[in-house]
Amino acid sequence: MFKVKGLIEEVQFDKDCIIYIPDGLQFIGKGRSAAVFRVLDTQKAVKIFYPEFKGLAEIEAHVYQKLNNHDYFPAFYEVGDGFLLMEYVEGITFYDCLVSGIPITEKMVVKVDEALEFACSLGLNPSDIHLKNILLTSSGQVKVIDVVRFTQEFDCPHWRDLKKAYETFYLRRYVPKKFPKFFIEFIIRLYRRRLLPI
């Protein structure tokens, strides 16, 4: 772990922009409050929060501790100053499934429901569930990632709305299962502005 901490300390941010990544880390992706890297030659990933969001590390660690390494979520190993060390999950997001034309099956949607119901049974409040926070693993499992907002108190409609769109439009035979990114982003912008009939 000492080596990993050294790598984490070398990562440099300018607000939410990554300006330096050491050789031992491989960039995976970034969100509103953090960036995620794979620790090379391991099955571990590190989520490093941007300087202004460092305090969220402890909050998300608490959520992962409650989830207790359940199969529907990445295994959690350690929390540090502004970072989390967890299982590296090989897979593709539901967002990328849409871009690549990989069908999102009803069974996959049921698995997400089961994951969120499990979190609710622990007193958590699954929030901010979107296409980039759900993974289809290389072994065909479904995992929910980025649980930092599971402690929010308001009722988040994101997953309900995604399911409604899935059932109303996506499942129709004539609807394509592959979409260009610009189209998906356009739909997301309309949704955020509440301009969609969902």
- Residues with catalytic function: 128
Rounded to whole angstroms, how far apart are CA atoms 104 and 187?
18
Q: What is the 8-class DSSP label of residue 32?
A: S
Q: C-alpha distances in angstroms, 35 versus 3, 32, 39, 136, 191?
A: 19, 9, 13, 20, 24
Cβ within 8 Å of residue 163, ≥6 positions away: 109, 113
Q: How far is CA 197 from the centre of its chain?
A: 25
